[in-house]
Structure 1
């Protein structure tokens, strides 16, 4: 008999549930008697404390039950899954962040596994507040459905989305369908993973040649610190738990920069931590022209995939963080309509760059972008790495 305290509820065979070896039994129970799985989780939530090992174990087990229910196609399983993470899950301060991630994860599983007709009843009752966990999981579900092009035109879902806008929920600003500039979100193309080497960078994007004019312009640039804007720009990486703090710098130029001089020569003259020591290692720095959809997709993936030691943030919030970051890079307010921001992004010039320096490890994930505004007098640089230099 298994006396593991983290698996206190019994399944059809009498063995404890909640352990990795019981996945098949959990799925069988979800298909045949989901109400029993829900009742077991309900007892667990009722008896578990918020803090300590028992509280942590309760959240993990309930999250596991909810995930299995979310992936089992039926109206009852959908309702039970949402109720577990939206109403029953321990929500005290000790487990709040973990509970938030579980709600996002369950919403993503529901959108991917369930029929829309079985999800629609979940939105029959409009919320009174946007702070209720039950409202939050449904807001995340609407965001996940938008990523797969589903849900719009259903009266119950449309009414719920409108109510979220009235309540000021942060996800309510997300368009209910993907914009053209978002076409690469969640899409995985074989052979087009993360850019890790300068050869990969050159193979995918047109390289911009260095110029003396670029170097001269870089030496004349002045820094313009802006902490809040920098934090917003870095949010996809901080939320995803990337290993090192991102570098975000803002610069102003005394005169408009010639577009041909927006290149690696210019960037190497800026006071950037990510390029410190460049030239002391074998290999040269390279900058290539890129497009807003590439930048936006990279920002989305940073939060959506999470860092090596971080946590995936779910599609809805990853989309929100990506857009806020893109707006911050351009110096736009985060409440600007996304379609308008996408149009303004086309008037900016975007670079991806890479170097052989301490910042770039070329093994896990290195990201570096620079953007020149339409006046050609303001430049933003964002660099992030998921390699723990102390590890």
Structure 2
């Protein structure tokens, strides 16, 4: 006797179907999977079921549908994450994650002609989850360089800009500086040793004059700027709170003095106790595209807690962080920010302290502005805290 997906969930609401079974149901009977998700959400609203468990099950259904190519699966997946998911505060983070995950799967799997019908009705506001999932789809399309020039999509994107949706300020096409976003290069994983750092980037030697200049630096606290700079790591669940700090020098720094000698003199938690562990601190010169790619990857891949943000929001967090590191106002156009980034000096540094762990991911950058009087530092670690 044939058992429908809806019947299975009705008899065992907490049952966790395996990926293969969900995939088979999505391919053969997507309407029954949708009905099962609708039933679960209705029962959560009536408080018959544990909301967290049911939301996870419904999310797996939506992702299976999004990952199965067909117009029906597109429609069902978007309706689940855009309308059916519980809206209470307890489910907000999971709802955000699912909308971003489903949007990414839709763009990776579905045909553009099957996505276009989602955008036929222009939104009146940006708080609706149905609008949010569509904004994420547009953001994911931008990352693969498609969708622009299609009237329906262009009209929806313009409407989102008018309404002030945060994703709508991003370019509709990938910029050259973003060429490494989402690209994995074999053999180029996390940098864990000084030798790995030196093999990829040119080392900058220490100088006594750099240390002397560092002793004259004064910190210029800015909590909002620090929060935005650190956001790619905080939103994605990196193991430790990142450190973002800003400093002012009384006179322009000689270019060769922007090195580890200067950085070690700054008031940085990540360098406390430097020299007490085996291994020396090192700085290497890098480029803005390397920095923005690391920021994107941190949010896109997620930290040890697994809070991957999806491509659209990872891109937003990366750009916001880059603007914060350079101290740029948000109204500077992106290509203007790229031009300004070329006038800054960018360093990676590494140190052996109790703050860093060298077991999973450690990232540390320093940025010198064009006046050579302002230094920004951002450090993050995804290793276990002690």
Q: Deviation of residue 359 (structure 1)? A: 1.5
Which range moved further: 257-266 or 328-337?
328-337
- Deviation per CA, 1:317-355, whole angstroms, max 9, x where unpaired? 110010000000001013322211111000000000001
Task: Report matched runs for 1:238-253 at 5 Å.
Answer: 238-253=234-249
Alpha carbons 1:11, 1:29 under 8 Å: kept: no
CA contact (8 A) 2:364 2:379 kept: yes
CA contact (8 A) 2:81 2:99 kept: yes
What do residues 144-181 of structure 1 show as CA deviations (whole Å, max 9, x unaligned)? 11111111111111111001001110100011110000
* Cα distance change, pair 154–18 in 1 and its aligned pair in 2 (3 A): farther
Task: Determine if the alignment matches structure 1 residue 320 to structure 2 residue 344.
Answer: no
Instruction: Report the equivalent of 2:304.
Output: 308
Q: Kindly indicate whether the alpha-carbon contact (under 8 Å) linking 2:214 and 2:262 is maintained by their aligned counterparts in 1.
A: yes
Please tell me whether residue 47 in structure 1 is matched to residue 43 in structure 2: yes
Would the aligned equivalents of 2:14 and 2:54 in 1 still touch at CA under 8 Å?
Answer: no
Rounded to whole Å, the distance in 2 between the matches of 1:96 and 1:279 is 44
1:195 deviates by 1.1
Q: Which of 207, 218, 234 pairs up with 2:214?
A: 218
Q: 1:203 to 1:214 in 2, by over 3 A?
A: same
Q: In structure 1, what is the equivalent of residue 141 of structure 2?
A: 145
Range with bigger deviation, 17-26 or 32-41: 17-26
Structure 1, unaligned runs of 5 or more: 1-7
Give the C-alpha shift of residue 228 in structure 1: 0.5
1:348 is aligned to 2:344: yes
Structure 2: any 5+ residue segments left out of the alignment? none
Q: Secondary structure at the match of 1:374?
A: coil
2:367 match: 371
- Structure 2 residue aligned with 1:65, among 50, 61, 67? 61
Cα distance in 1 for partners of 2:186, 2:297 equals 16
What TM-score, normalized to structure 2? 0.96
Pair 1:153–1:273, CA change in 2 (3 A):
same
Partner of residue 131, structure 1: 127
CA-CA distance at 1:19 after TM superposition: 4.7
Distance 1:107 1:329 in 2: 29
TM-score under structure 1 normalisation? 0.94
Matched, 1:113 2:98: no
For the aligned residues, what is the CA RMSD? 1.9
Q: What SS does the corresponding residue of 1:172 show, helix, strand or coil?
A: helix
For the 8 Å contact 1:17–1:26, the answer to whether it is kept is no
Which whole-Å CA distance do the structure 2 matches of 1:51 and 1:331 have between them? Answer: 48
